[in-house]
Amino acid sequence: MSEYPIAERAAAWLSLAAAPAFAAMALVTATHGGGPADILCSAAHGSSPFGGMVPMYVLMSVFHAPPWLKLISRWRDRRLTAF
């Protein structure tokens, strides 16, 4: 048993918040434009295919997906063992 169960549960839930938040930011930025920050991020135009805010948010969402994949795997394992 852990000494800080509430903190660990909060951290687990917080880790699940990152991927959807970045995905939502990518969607909002793609539909409404990047604004002034997009100009700063794409200053070296043509140097990388990942220039701009939308690809950055998509990549950040992908990098923060492992907690979701772990959760889905646990749900799937429970469902398979229930039969």
Report domain extents, the chain. 5-82
| Distance separating alpha carbons of residues 5 and 70, to the nearest angstrom | 19
Percent of the chain, pLDDT > 70? Answer: 73
Predicted model pTM: 0.67
| Distance separating alpha carbons of residues 20 and 60, to the nearest angstrom | 10
**What are the helix (H) ranges across the chain?**
5-32, 36-41, 53-63, 66-82
> What pLDDT shows up at residue 48?
61
Banded model confidence at residue 12, pLDDT cuts 50, 70, 90:
confident
Banded model confidence at residue 76, pLDDT cuts 50, 70, 90:
confident
Banded model confidence at residue 13, pLDDT cuts 50, 70, 90:
confident
> What pLDDT shows up at residue 62?
94
